[in-house]
Amino acid sequence: MTPMDFSKLNEMLIDATEKSLEENFKEGEIILLKALEDFPENYLPYYNLGVLYIKSGKPDKAIPFLLKAEILKKDDCDIYIETAFALQQCGKKEKAHEYYDKALAHADSSHLKAVIYNNIGSLFFEENDFLKAKEYFKKALSEEEYVLARENLVLVNTYIDIIS
């Protein structure tokens, strides 16, 4: 990729991200589809389109783009996290667990590990395995003081108290 190509791709990704932040998902999608057309061998348009679909409430549309991003860029923790989350949102819980495990294997910071452990805890919570959920929320907090994990731990403890 030439510096000019990189600059063009970067500009497209920034524009699409701005549209997404404004919740103008359709315009963001148009920009990213053009980026796919112009840069079909770069993982970033696929990844960003997957994230856009998740944020716009279309996780089923996100999965094929995230899987393509994974093919183009192996062993990327962020791709694994987003793929796991999309699978979780689509009710494909077993596959979501697999992708969270892949993400953990490639997480290179305490923050990423905290996010992943929290998401795994949420997945177990959805499966009504409250003790496993609690275990993972605690793991998230052992990595980092992650506010969402603390809130989820309070919630799961409430559920455990109710069913006990």
Q: How far is CA 78 from the centre of its chain?
A: 6
Q: Is 25 exposed, middle or buried (0-12, 13-18, 19+ CB in 10 A)?
A: middle
Apex 145 CA angle, 161 and 117, nearest 5: 70
Apex 69 CA angle, 28 and 42, nearest 5: 75
3-state secondary structure 48-116: HHHHHHHHCCCHHHHHHHHHHHHHHCCCCHHHHHHHHHHHHHCCCHHHHHHHHHHHHHHCCCHHHHHHH
Instruction: Specify the CATH superfamily of domain 1-94.
Output: Tetratricopeptide repeat domain (1.25.40.10)
Beta-carbon count within 10 A of 95 CB: 16
Instruction: Give the pLDDT confidence score for residue 163 in this predicted structure.
Output: 82
The mean pLDDT of 9-36, rounded to a whole number, is 96
- Position 57 pLDDT exceeds 80: yes
Instruction: Give the pLDDT confidence score for residue 148 in this predicted structure.
Output: 82
Per-chain mean pLDDT for the chain: 94
Query: pTM of the entire structure?
Result: 0.91
- Amino acid, res. 137: F
Instruction: Give the pLDDT confidence score for residue 158 in this predicted structure.
Output: 87
The mean pLDDT of 139-160, rounded to a whole number, is 86
> For 71-100, what is each residue's pLDDT tens digit?
999 999 999 999 999 999 999 999 999 999
Q: Domain map of the chain by residue range?
A: 1-94, 107-164
- Amino acid, res. 79: I
Apex 18 CA angle, 12 and 21, nearest 5: 140
The band of 149, judged by pLDDT with boundaries at 50, 70 and 90, is: confident
The band of 161, judged by pLDDT with boundaries at 50, 70 and 90, is: confident
In a 3-state reduction of DSSP, which class is residue 20? helix
Instruction: Give the pLDDT confidence score for residue 164 in this predicted structure.
Output: 75
